Amino acid sequence: MPQPATYTIPPRLKRTVRPERVATPGVDGAARAPEAFWRGVEAGGTPVVGGDDGTGHRTVTFLWRGGDELADVVLVANKIADADSCEHNRMERVPGTDVWHLTYRMRDDWRASYTVAPVPADGAPAPEGALSATTRLRRERALAVADPEDRPAVARWFDALAHAVPDPLARERLDATASVVSLPGAPPELWRPSGGRVCAARTEGEAPAGAGTVTAARLTGAALGNTRTVWVHRPAQAPPDGTPWPVVVLLDGQDWHTLPLAPLLDGLIADGTLPPALTVMVDSLDPATRTRELACDDAFVDFLGHELLPWLGDRHDVASDPGRTLVAGQSLGGLTALYAAHRAPHRFGRVLSQSGSFWWPNVAVAGGESERMAGLVAGADTVPGRVHLSAGLNEWALLDANRRLRDALAARGAELGREPGSVVLTEYNGGHDRACWRAGLPDGLVFLTSDWERRGR
């Protein structure tokens, strides 16, 4: 009998199209004068991006500095590099220099987080604990579903990942563990101070003028038997005319709180892009708990609807209208966001799903069943008032499932009299990636809350 966790292993689909590798521009200069080459790179940052070639594509050159102490250097770009493509993502070394390089030809709107894995020539192992708990779980899952002849390559890939670090010359960082490449045509980021909307980060009791507050609390779920942190962002501006607060429930809340999300929300609410709303960021605890709870788990949905929202209502005057209660998530969280609205339509009427795992459950261990959520939607008595889906063009394991789910929601919504356009799917040039999710979150929130009252209207 399969263990429940095996149902959350994505289907084993190999990439059929890989990014085009091309010759690295300017590499001859690196061979002639490596020090001058590196001075130029350091001045501009990495990766080195070429001009539009007239077809909407650019060269993107990734670099690493190292000598004979390295046996290999592997680029680990989100959903571009994987265990099946290690050879395709190995950098080349300019002979006699410390210049390692790899160049892709990519569409102008590509965005991805990435790391670089310099593999030592002496075979020294990576520091103990170099792989995160999530990556160790991915390794176990990948080996579990790999064909026997592919397992050594999968193991070598994860051994390389243990050496992966951020690019020290990158212009952008995702966090302390990864860098980001954003080509000029990628959707604009509102997270950077240069965007003009992001307020300074702050702690409760030290908020600058116009900033809201973030309150952390520990909440025990009787239905789940565990205790987690939730962070509640309350903006400085309240809903107009004393109306109750609308609510946004954001899964994997620890990632959004750490970003931090609150300053962005303050800026978007202040300029009228978003309405005043309470945003509740829900911690997902550890990878094993997350895997269990964010896979259409009825106990977790009961926790959200029967424990979290009443707890919030005891502390704030919150709306009871499901059309003013939004649940949002990414990956398995995106699946659960829609499942929560399906199971509790009287509580959740708006859904934001980024890279939702709508392939779930894994067909190989579920008796041939897959894409359960689309089947549930097709026979549902109701569907959410609005749904915003997004998925990356490089997410080959779930893009088509998101498209089919969008069609199922639109068809059932039409049968039930929903307005045309109540469900949308945005496809972006990226992968299963927090760098893409943080860029796309505001657009999803704007669509789902466009009929909530803004200040100044």
Give the tens place of pLDDT for each residue, 424-445: 999 999 999 999 999 999 999 9
pLDDT, residue 87, reads 80
Label residue 13 by pLDDT band (50, 70, 90). Answer: low
pLDDT, residue 191, reads 61
Using DSSP bridges, classify how beta strands 247-250 and 213-221 pair: parallel, antiparallel or unpaired: unpaired
Residue-wise burial string across 66-85, b where 16 or more C-beta atoms lie within 10 A, e elsewhere: beeebebbbbbbbbbbbbbb
Q: Which residues pair with 326 in a beta bridge?
A: 248, 350
Q: Which residues pair with 42 in a beta bridge?
A: none
One-letter identity of residue 331: S
The Cα 339–Cα 337 span in angstroms is: 5
**pLDDT over 70 at 381, yes or no:** yes
- Residue among 452, 448, 456, 457 at smallest CA distance from 245: 452
With H, G, I as helix, E, B as strand and everything else as coil, classify residue 327.
Answer: strand
Pick the CATH number of 193-448 from 3.20.20.70, 3.40.50.1820, 3.30.1360.30, 3.30.2180.10: 3.40.50.1820
Average pLDDT over residues 134-139: 75
Q: What is the mean pLDDT of the chain?
A: 90
Q: How far apart are the first and last CA of the chain?
A: 57
CB-CB contact of 355 with 438 (8 Å) = no
One-letter identity of residue 246: P
Q: What is the helix (H) or strand (E) element at residue 248, kind and residue range?
A: strand 247-250
Which residue reads 């997350």 in tokens? 290
Q: How far are the Cα atoms of 52, 59, 306 from residue 107, in angstroms, in the given order?
A: 9, 9, 46
- Residue among 266, 242, 272, 243 at smallest CA distance from 456: 272
The Cα 352–Cα 262 span in angstroms is: 18
Token reading at 55: 């077809």
pLDDT, residue 223, reads 83
The Cα 208–Cα 225 span in angstroms is: 38
pLDDT, residue 10, reads 73
* All structural domains of the chain with their residue ranges: 4-182, 193-448
Summarised one tens digit per residue, pLDDT across range 36-77 is: 999 999 999 999 999 999 999 999 999 999 999 999 999 999
Pick the CATH number of 4-182 from 2.60.40.10, 3.60.150.10, 3.30.420.10, 3.40.50.2300: 2.60.40.10
- Residue among 447, 395, 446, 453 at smallest CA distance from 421: 447
CB-CB contact of 131 with 89 (8 Å) = no
Please give the model's pTM, rounded to 2 decimal places.
Answer: 0.91
Read out DSSP for 354-368? ES--TTPSPTTTTTT
Summarised one tens digit per residue, pLDDT across range 274-304 is: 999 999 999 999 999 999 999 999 999 999 9
CB-CB contact of 239 with 453 (8 Å) = yes
CB-CB contact of 372 with 361 (8 Å) = yes
Q: Which residues pair with 100 in a beta bridge?
A: 64, 93
